[in-house]
Amino acid sequence: MAIQDFMDCHAQLAMTVNNASHYIGRFAPSPTGPLHAGSLVAALASWLDARAHDGQWLVRIEDIDSTRCLSGMDQIILQQLAACGLHSDQPPLYQSRRSALYQQALDRLIASGYAYPCGCSRRDIELALQRGGRSRARHGELIYPGTCRAGLQGKPARAWRFRTQAESLLHWQDRRLGAQSQDVAYEVGDFILKRADGCFAYQLAVVVDDGAQGITDVARGADLADNTARQILLQRALHLPTPRYLHTTLVLGANGEKLSKQNGAQALDTRHPLAALNQAAAVLGLTQQHEPADALAHWVAQWKCLYNHAP
Ligand code: GLU
């Protein structure tokens, strides 16, 4: 952003009433590895958005899938955030301690007909898709053909799925990406709420927690944008409000995919927090800062100009 634009925008903002008296945002890392340049972008974006709205910023540790989480990683992530000056406004919430709430939500979905048990193995799904002459996959996942929608037909229940409504194109606004739409039934299918191993799915846990924590705004990486429609469907089925969404630019790894441990992401070097923050800020379109003491405050002011107005 050019300095003159920034000054103009700042002057304009000073004249407008801040429309954000009630704002609760969150950063929701999965403790599968330390924060890296990519995850810091999401952390910084959500923190800046909360501060730009005079709101609260919460950290939620998404450790529901114990097979993927590393012990002690939550503490490392919290230390990395603290080294960058990002502190949760409330004690962090741990998904691993909230299974009873996810079960209650699932029970409500079952009672209202939105959730149904599924007895299909991956092989059953492959065979059903072949028999039907279609084999549609999405991100490597087979689109469920709906075999158990009408009942288990003697099979034991393995998982629980969300019953999508056919031909229901969902529309929503993303604060950075603009108008979005997805036909969940066609593009995703009846998605999993509780897996065969008893683990609650990310989609259900995240919607229950965003609702329980009163999250008004979600700012996270664009790799997660594709989950939004499923989350809105779940919010509606559970009578929860839909937050505003903002999906940030992604940091790409050497192979052109989202930066991750698998494609060479290094853990943040918290001995040089300003360097790490400057790198994340650049991805978000913010200017470089040289004074650690007021870098975050400068970015909050810039953020207001860049993102505080709906597209
Ligand atoms: N736990 C998810 C992740 O680390 C983020 C979930 C979210 O922000 O909705 O990718």
Look at the chain and report how many structural domains it folds into: 1
CATH no. for residue 255? 3.40.50.620
Q: Which atom of ligand 1 approaches the CA of 29 most closely?
A: 4
Q: How far is it, in rounded angstroms, from Cα 293 to Cα 170?
A: 44
235 Cβ neighbours under 8 A, 6+ residues apart: 207, 210, 211, 241, 242
Least confident of 4-8, 154-158, 167-171, 262-266: 4-8
Ligand 1 binding pocket, CB closer than 6 Å:
28-30, 62, 206, 220, 224
* Distance from residue 130's CA to the centre of ligand 1 (Å): 33
208 Cβ neighbours under 8 A, 6+ residues apart: 98, 101, 102, 105, 238
In a domain, 104, yes or no: no
Residue with tokens 């959730």: 115
The predicted-structure confidence for 121-167, as pLDDT tens digits, reads as follows 999 998 988 888 776 777 777 899 999 999 999 999 999 999 999 87
In a domain, 73, yes or no: yes
pLDDT confidence of residue 311: 42
- 8 Å CB contact between 286 and 274: no
In a domain, 148, yes or no: no
Residues 85-93, mean pLDDT to the nearest whole number: 98
Q: How far apart are the first and last CA of the chain?
A: 17
Q: Which atom of ligand 1 approaches the CA of 26 most closely?
A: 8
Handedness of CA 166, 167, 172, 176 (dihedral sign): positive
In a domain, 192, yes or no: no
* Residue 24: pLDDT over 70: yes
* Distance from residue 142's CA to the centre of ligand 1 (Å): 22
Total Cβ atoms within 10 A of residue 240: 19
* Distance from residue 39's CA to the centre of ligand 1 (Å): 10
Q: How far is it, in rounded angstroms, from Cα 225 to Cα 185?
A: 17
Residue to probe by mutation, ligand 1, list 224, 245, 246, 261, most atoms within 8 Å of CB: 224
Adjacent-strand bridge partners of 214: none
Q: How far is it, in rounded angstroms, from Cα 264 to Cα 251?
A: 12
Q: How far is it, in rounded angstroms, from Cα 138 to Cα 296?
A: 39
* Distance from residue 136's CA to the centre of ligand 1 (Å): 26
Residue to probe by mutation, ligand 1, list 49, 63, 220, 234, most atoms within 8 Å of CB: 220
- 8 Å CB contact between 155 and 117: no
In a domain, 145, yes or no: no
% of the chain beyond a pLDDT of 70: 92
Q: How far is it, in rounded angstroms, from Cα 263 to Cα 257?
A: 8
Nearest CA to ligand 1 atom 6: 28
In a domain, 276, yes or no: yes
Does the model's pTM come out above 0.75? yes
* Distance from residue 21's CA to the centre of ligand 1 (Å): 25
The predicted-structure confidence for 276-286, as pLDDT tens digits, reads as follows 999 999 999 99
Amino acid at 219: A
In a domain, 124, yes or no: no
Quote the domain boundaries for residue 48.
3-99+202-306
Q: Parallel, antiparallel, or unpaired: how do β-strands 56-61 and 24-27 relate?
A: parallel
Least confident of 25-34, 163-172, 234-243: 163-172
User: Which of 311, 266, 308 lies closest to 14 in space, CA to CA?
Assistant: 308
* Distance from residue 129's CA to the centre of ligand 1 (Å): 30
* Distance from residue 223's CA to the centre of ligand 1 (Å): 9
Greatest Cα pair distance, the chain, in angstroms, is: 69
